[in-house]
Amino acid sequence: MKKRYPHKTRVLLVNITRLGDMLQATPTIAGIKMENPDCHITVLVEKQFAEVCKVIPNIDEIVGIDLNFVVRSISREKDGIIDAYEYMTEMVESLRGKKFDYCLNMSSSGYTALLLNLIGIKRNGGWTSDEEGYRVIESDWARLFATSVFHQNRQYNSLNLVDVFRASADVDIHPRNLLINVEQPSLDHCETLIHEAQFTNTGPLIAIQAGASQGKRQWNPKQFVTLITNLIEKHNARVVLTGAAKEKPIIDPIVEGCASRNVVSVAGKTSVPQLAAMLKMSDVLVTGDTGPMHISVAVGTPVVSMFLASAYGFETGPYSEGNLVLQPVIGCGPCNPNKPCSKPDCHDTISPELVAHLAISRAKGDVFEVASHLADPRGVVVYRSTFDEFGFIDLVPINGQPQDPCARHRVAYRKLWLEDLGGFPVQYTPKTSGLAVVDHGLEGLSQIGECAIHGQKLMDTLVQLVKDNRTTSGQLKSSNEEIAELDRRIEELGFNYGHFGALTRMFIFAKENLQGSDAVDLASQMKSIYCDLERRCQKFAVFYAGA
Amino acid sequence: MGRTTTTALEKLAAQMRTDWDRRVGHDYRFWMGEGHLDDAQIWKTGEQDLATVVEGMQGTSSCTALEIGCGVGRLLKSASSRFAKVIGFDVSRLAVDKARQLLGPNPSIELVVGSGVSLDPVESSSVDFVWSFGALASMPVPVIASYLAEIKRVLRASGSARLQVYLGQELLVHESDTLHLRSFTRENFAKAVALAGLKVTRCDEQTIADDGTADLGIVNCLISIAQTDEPASNVEAVAQALLPAGESTEVNPAALEAWMALNYAEMLADEGNANKARQAVEYVFTHCQSATVDTKDLLERVLAKSDAIEKKETRETSASDDERIFLRNVEVLKERFPVVYERVLATKDAISRDISVKHSKDGPTLWSGSTCLDHAEKPQAAAEAWVRRSLQESRFAGAKHILIVGFGGGYHVEAALKQTITPVSCAEADVALFTAALKARDLRDALTRVQSLLVGDEVSHASLGGNAELLIRPQVAVLDSRFIERAKSSTYSKRGLSQLHPKIAVLGPLQGGTLPIAQYTTAALQRIGQRVRGIDVSGFNDGYMLFEKFLVGEPRRLLMRSQYCEVISNTILEALAEKPVDILICMAQAPITAKALTELRNRGVVTVLWFVEDYLRFTYWRHMAKYYDFVFTIQKGECLEQIRAAGAGEVHYLPTACDPMFHQPLKLSGDEKARWGSPISFVGAGYHNRQQMFASMAQYPFRIWGSEWPTGRPFDRLVQDDSRRVSPEEYIKVFNATDINLNLHSSSERDGVDPSGDFINPRTFELAGCGAFQLCDERSLLPELFEVGKEIITFSNMSELRQKIDHYRTHPEERSAVCEAARARVIKEHTYEHRLEQMLSTIYASKYEMLRQREQSSPWAEMIRRADGDTELKERCERAYARGEEPALDGLIADIVTGQGKLSETEQKLLFMHHVRSQIIRMTREESGLKK
């Protein structure tokens, strides 16, 4: 794998706000340690997560930043602003004193970027900012991360963000699952909870995480009742409903609806380490795209996960071998994470019976196939998670071939990025090659490629103009305007032909991250960006043809 | 030698100042003028000594020179003809004051009351030559060391210095002694000079016959010094080198001073000058009580001589006690405050009234009628207690000057001089009272030591240096409140402009001619650097006008309009709660209720009404004036009295003006001239007198612009654009494009020119600002604003108007001359900047202390205090404050622009905070939205 900074000694990982994000970073953290055994790793997290982060292995130091204090102080206005400022000054000084030689910030927030510039870490793999306050993304993989989560491009991406994050940090060798420590006291606590439940069934212990972070991702509680009833009555299962105390308004009606001794709620009764223990003791977890899903994967318990609404299995699916992912096939999915939905039709594509079947099957062992009469691939695709030859996780459909118009692009993009950014020897069987391919799926590609070639010529002209001392400012202005117009055209092509949005977005990010002020050097950097675009267009056509 | 801290150094400097102020106050000629009896000899010896100092120096005529310890300027006068510029430094304020008086105005001499340890504010490397003659030798060693370091700093690389010192045997002197000569070994002096980053280039020994130095084993030397490339060591090291053993702890500093003063007294007595001899003896009694018995014989001799003379004087003059006290006092007065002296002498025999002197056990007390100006029984103790209590107020903590208002018997002046080292001055309005005090008590010490003395009706702020804190005697508030107003005004108004930064809101009306005045006012406040917020409520006017459409009956309209205004007023109140202000300036017709004004005053806001309307025509001030702390009017006389009587806090005259950024000569295109121009124009509403007068002008090429004009003949051909209201942007084009603009002030009652018209409308100033020619009707207040006939042409009736129109139409060059003169006058005196400075000066005169306290306890003040350790953050806070931002993060980052160059660390931290807040608020909103 191509690496920018293979050697690291003092690493700062910025992962400020969410436990799920932190869990998804565990293969990267472990990988850094595996490749740099003497490396010291510090994570910077929001203060309230600092305690929870202690369950994450391979971290040498956790620094908590109290953002709530900052916001509270600012809201107080007046001298509260000075309080916040003084706190920030102390925090920056303290972090500077730790003399990090590498930083990985995968939060795209403006404040983390500014913070890193203040700390002044020279080498980094994620977001930072330049001295004028603009956000900077130096690494191609980090740009791909930003490109992939750009909503228009999401459905064309098949690289899990865990892997993109890992590649941003140049980590090749890595564990093939997420990681979390489970301690015996937590296991004892859960043992007691299960004992107290006094289940009458003796079958598999199935954990169900009914709550979700967003209303539109929340499967109807009635469906859960049907599912649980099915599991208890038909499969002798014991069911544990997990969740936080705040999720009780969802969970309690489910328990009441089931009216069975074989279902118990532990919502609000488990800390994060205890939840991990409970999931470890379970045979399978049924869940949406949630934090508990990642914990379950980390403790080695397989999951059956429903990726509803904005959730997208390829992007944030369970990171270990053999999990089952249900992705509804619906014109509007995956939808925009930032928009609500008043009519979540995607929920109806998944039946409780199917979920019960998958849960029981997975509790018994690995599942490689699902009969299409149980799960019609036109309504929902059931995927099995697996790793490819380069150690990147992928999803393979197991209920027949989906009629997914994006599937071929996904395959082509996956190969393109692994080959172009990672330097992996991607195998393909070309059916045809080159830009001459006439295919609806390639519409727009040749135009983008032509723009890229034209851009290179403009750069050659620009260099000549800069070097020639007879050049007038008017000529330079005219040249710059032509370049700006071309870039605008490339961006528009990306919008017009959405399936190439990722190519043009990568181009835009690269142009936004030009560094330096020497005109000839800048022109050289820009030419290289047009070259990248042209090369990627050509490669995409080849991989698409072979997909 | 112990380490001399900055505070210790400052104490030594304070001691020097106290000592030398005292000596100069006693007799500058003796203590600083080489013992001579008249000023001519001061200059003569000064010239001789300067010749010694600059001996052999060539080409000094373009040089800047500086003297350390210039005293009353003995050498400066002569030096000013040798150097391009001479700067005289002395630690004694009284000496520098005296030097100013003696030297008179001289552009090549700059006098500075120094801190006593540094040469601030002289810039580094800016001086060619530094000298000190007869000064350094009596300064404490740490002070000399400090001055050596300062000489290093201020001298140019090619510069030099000559210092007169004593070298040879070390003479040990007490550290606080500012009179005895100090002497150093030659080696130590050279070493100290080297440690200061300088080098000794020459040493000239001065031989002065019988000066006694030879007996002491010391030599009077003039040391020539040059700059080196070496940096200066710290002052402690220089002082240590100069006198390694440190200064003595034993010598009695008062002995020499007593001895010198008594010798002087004896000389004076021998000359028959008993008064001055007595003063010298009293000086010893007052200031040299710790003198040793060495002076006893001398003292007895002087007293004997002095008594003999006094007995003789008593026999000769048979003057009464109070006459004698008076004569002693006025002698000091004559010396120090000749203007006051003249004033006292002029009125001394005219004392009548009900001024009396009564005796208490502490001394005489002064009475004005039944009011005792001092404490009736214990004037001295009470004065001391009062001064002590007063000086504890925070405003005196950093005061540079204290002005006591009211002299009374002088007890509190003496107490203040005793209790503070801050210079003290005194102002007394009543010359008769002051004269009575001069007769009642021996005030020579107080008169010697006060910095300034203002007696009479005038209180000149400028003479006090503009930085005094007032200490007002409560009795004066009873006897003469107007005098206090004047004292406050002269002290605080200008200082307020430069030192206060209140947040000022300007509230305009819903509509009408005052609306643009509100805008000009806001803009002018911004231009004079005030923190201002314009509150434009004109958008509410559309709603206000709708009542006319919906309601026919006037009572219903009035009721609804009143309720509507209540809503607007409450909105303003809420807006000012969100973003508080310190001063609210309401323009005439501003829609704010009495309730809102009361609430604002309860919040500590100063309420101001600028009533730019005719008070006789718009009378709502009758019930609103009492809700304003200040009302400014465009009329005088009866207007001021009536509004005062209606309960307004203060009422002052303040005419309108022009906004030179807006009312200015325009370059108009041919089309614009055709559209807006005419040989004769008038802009304004069709009031009765205008209709009546202009109806007879149809034969002229005349255009009328504005609303409310009749549509019938002859106006159908005169009035433009269907008699619509023209905007300010439009009417300045009319002004500029017209040969003769008519300006007839409105009247709803009179025909033509109102013979009793007083106020000046804004149009008068605006036309002048545009450089446009106007014929204006006569107004009683016009001549004090414009020179009639030169800067403005007036008419008093129709026939004069016709005559002047005919004349000026054919004399464009005369029109140009008037326009030019009028424009120059308004730019100089009649802009809104001038008016607002005047308005704020008036407000600060009585609200300075309140506004300052409000400012000091404001959130910004607290933020700036807290940011003190971070220069950039502090400056950013100060800038945001000056811009008038609210004390919140948004205010602090308002001027940070990304992509405009490198962000500083402070900017990045603040932006970080901003992004954190935005992101967390956004996340919270999204999560709560998506949860549903």
Q: Which CATH number does the domain housing residue B477 bear?
A: 3.40.50
Mutation choice for B interface testing from A44, A70, A71, A117 by most B CBs within 10 A: A71
Q: Residue A380: how many CB atoms within 10 A of its CB? A: 23
What are residue A454's DSSP bridge partners? none
Same domain, B141 and B16: yes
**Coil, helix or strand for B639?**
helix
Q: Which of B498, B516, B535 is a domain's end point?
A: B498
Nearest-CB residue to A88 (from B913, B918, B930): B913
Same domain, B421 and B458: yes
Report the C-alpha gap between A196 and A186 in whole angstroms: 15
HSE at residue B15, side-chain half, CA atoms within 13 A, is 19
Question: Could you give the ipTM of this predicted complex?
Answer: 0.86
Contact A89 B915 (CB under 8 A): no
Write out chain B residues lying below 8 Å of A18, CB-based: none
**Coil, helix or strand for B406?**
coil
Contact B909 A85 (CB under 8 A): yes
Same domain, B639 and B520: yes
**pLDDT single digits (tens) B623-676:** 999 999 999 999 999 999 999 999 999 999 999 999 999 999 999 999 999 999
CATH code, B183:
3.40.50.150
pLDDT of residue A439: 62
Write down how long chain A is. Answer: 547
User: Would you call B908 an interface residue with chain A, using a CB distance cutoff of 8 Å?
Assistant: yes
pLDDT of residue B317: 44
Asked if residue B410 is part of any domain, the answer here is yes
**pLDDT single digits (tens) B538-592:** 999 999 999 988 998 888 999 999 999 999 999 999 999 989 999 999 999 999 9
pLDDT of residue B145: 93
Mutation choice for B interface testing from A77, A108, A308 by most B CBs within 10 A: A77
Res B216 pLDDT > 80: no
Q: What are the angstrom distances between the C-alpha of A333 and each of A146, A326, A349, B624?
A: 20, 13, 12, 66
Mutation choice for A interface testing from B870, B903, B905, B922 by most A CBs within 10 A: B903
Res B493 pLDDT > 90: no
Tokens of B305: 């001589």
Asked if residue B51 is part of any domain, the answer here is yes
Asked if residue B136 is part of any domain, the answer here is yes
pLDDT band with cut points at 50, 70 and 90 for residue B461: very low
A349-363, A496-510, B115-129: least confident range: B115-129
Within B770-840, strands assigned E span: 774-777, 793-795
Tokens of A345: 């039709």
pLDDT of residue B303: 72
pLDDT of residue B98: 87
Write out chain A residues lying below 8 Å of B911, CB-based: 110, 114, 133
> With contact defined as beta carbons under 8 Å apart, do B559 and B553 qualify?
no
Mean pLDDT, range A470-475, rounded to an integer:
92
Write out chain A residues lying below 8 Å of B886, CB-based: 77
Same domain, B686 and B577: no
Contact B900 A132 (CB under 8 A): yes
Write out chain A residues lying below 8 Å of B930, CB-based: 213-216, 338, 340
Distance from CA of A129 to the nearest CA of B (A): 10
Residue with tokens 């930003």: A146
> With contact defined as beta carbons under 8 Å apart, do B532 and B882 qualify?
no
Same domain, B335 and B470: yes
Nearest residue on chain B to A66, alpha-carbon basis: B916
Contact A85 B905 (CB under 8 A): no
List, in sequence order, the alpha helices (H) in B169-320.
186-195, 213-216, 235-242, 253-270, 274-287, 296-317
User: Would you call A131 an interface residue with chain B, using a CB distance cutoff of 8 Å?
Assistant: yes
Same domain, B72 and B191: yes
**Does B797 or B213 have the greater pLDDT score?**
B797
Secondary structure of A399-436 in HEC code, one letter for each residue: CCCCCCCCHHHHHHHHHHHHHHCCCCCCCCCCCCCCCC
pLDDT of residue B1: 39
User: Would you call A79 an interface residue with chain B, using a CB distance cutoff of 8 Å?
Assistant: yes
pLDDT band with cut points at 50, 70 and 90 for residue B34: low
Asked if residue B158 is part of any domain, the answer here is yes
Contact B913 A214 (CB under 8 A): no
Res B465 pLDDT > 60: no
Same domain, B243 and B278: no
Q: What percent of chain A has pLDDT over 90?
A: 79
Write out chain B residues lying below 8 Å of A133, CB-based: 896, 898-899, 903, 907-908, 911
pLDDT band with cut points at 50, 70 and 90 for residue B857: confident
pLDDT of residue B458: 63
Res B929 pLDDT > 90: no
Mean pLDDT, range B287-298, rounded to an integer:
63
pLDDT band with cut points at 50, 70 and 90 for residue A437: very low
Same domain, B724 and B809: yes
Write out chain B residues lying below 8 Å of A134, CB-based: 898-899
Report the C-alpha gap between B891 and B885 in whole angstroms: 5
Res A500 pLDDT > 70: yes
Nearest residue on chain B to A211, alpha-carbon basis: B931
pLDDT band with cut points at 50, 70 and 90 for residue B323: confident
Asked if residue B318 is part of any domain, the answer here is no
pLDDT of residue B164: 93
Distance from CA of A337 to the nearest CA of B (A): 9
Nearest-CB residue to A82 (from B863, B901, B915): B863
Nearest-CB residue to B930 (from A82, A114, A216): A216
**Does B479 or B730 have the greater pLDDT score?**
B730
pLDDT of residue B310: 61
Write out chain A residues lying below 8 Å of B924, CB-based: none
Contact A82 B886 (CB under 8 A): no
Nearest-CB residue to A114 (from B870, B911, B917): B911
Nearest-CB residue to A338 (from B867, B926, B931): B926
CATH code, B699:
3.40.50.2000
Same domain, B161 and B17: yes
Asked if residue B838 is part of any domain, the answer here is no
A282-291, A531-540, B110-119: least confident range: B110-119
pLDDT of residue B272: 74
HSE at residue A393, side-chain half, CA atoms within 13 A, is 31
DSSP B171: B
Mutation choice for B interface testing from A65, A70, A96, A111 by most B CBs within 10 A: A111
pLDDT band with cut points at 50, 70 and 90 for residue B703: very high
What are the DSSP calls for B469-514, one per residue?
Answer: EEEE-HHHHHH-HHHHHHHHHHHHHHHHHHH---EEEEE--SSSTH
A265-269, A542-546, B305-309, B508-512: least confident range: B305-309
**pLDDT single digits (tens) B873-906:** 999 998 898 888 888 899 899 888 766 678 899 9
Q: What percent of chain B has pLDDT over 70?
A: 92
Report the C-alpha gap between A187 and B540 in whole angstroms: 69
A and B: number of Cβ contacts within 8 A: 106
Nearest-CB residue to B873 (from A71, A85, A134): A85
pLDDT of residue A269: 95
DSSP B70: -
pLDDT of residue B809: 95
Q: What are the angstrom distances between the C-alpha of B901 and each of A122, A146, B762, B889, B904?
A: 20, 26, 46, 21, 9
Domain boundaries, position B781: 670-830
Asked if residue B204 is part of any domain, the answer here is yes
> With contact defined as beta carbons under 8 Å apart, do B76 and B88 qualify?
yes
**pLDDT single digits (tens) A184-229:** 999 999 999 999 999 999 999 999 999 998 889 999 999 999 999 9
Tokens of B330: 């006025």
Contact B911 A92 (CB under 8 A): no
Same domain, B527 and B446: no
Contact A70 B916 (CB under 8 A): yes
Mean pLDDT, range B767-774, rounded to an integer:
97
Same domain, B343 and B293: no
The residue type found at A543 is F
Report the C-alpha gap between A286 and B232 in whole angstroms: 79
pLDDT of residue B3: 45
Number of domains in chain B: 6
**pLDDT single digits (tens) B237-284:** 999 999 888 887 766 666 778 888 888 888 887 777 777 777 787 777
The pLDDT mean for chain B works out to 87
Asked if residue B665 is part of any domain, the answer here is no
Mean pLDDT, range A154-166, rounded to an integer:
95
**Does B352 or B116 have the greater pLDDT score?**
B116
Tokens of B900: 């405009």
Same domain, B486 and B510: no
Q: Which of B628, B653, B678 is a domain's end point?
A: B653
**pLDDT single digits (tens) B516-539:** 999 999 999 999 989 999 999 999
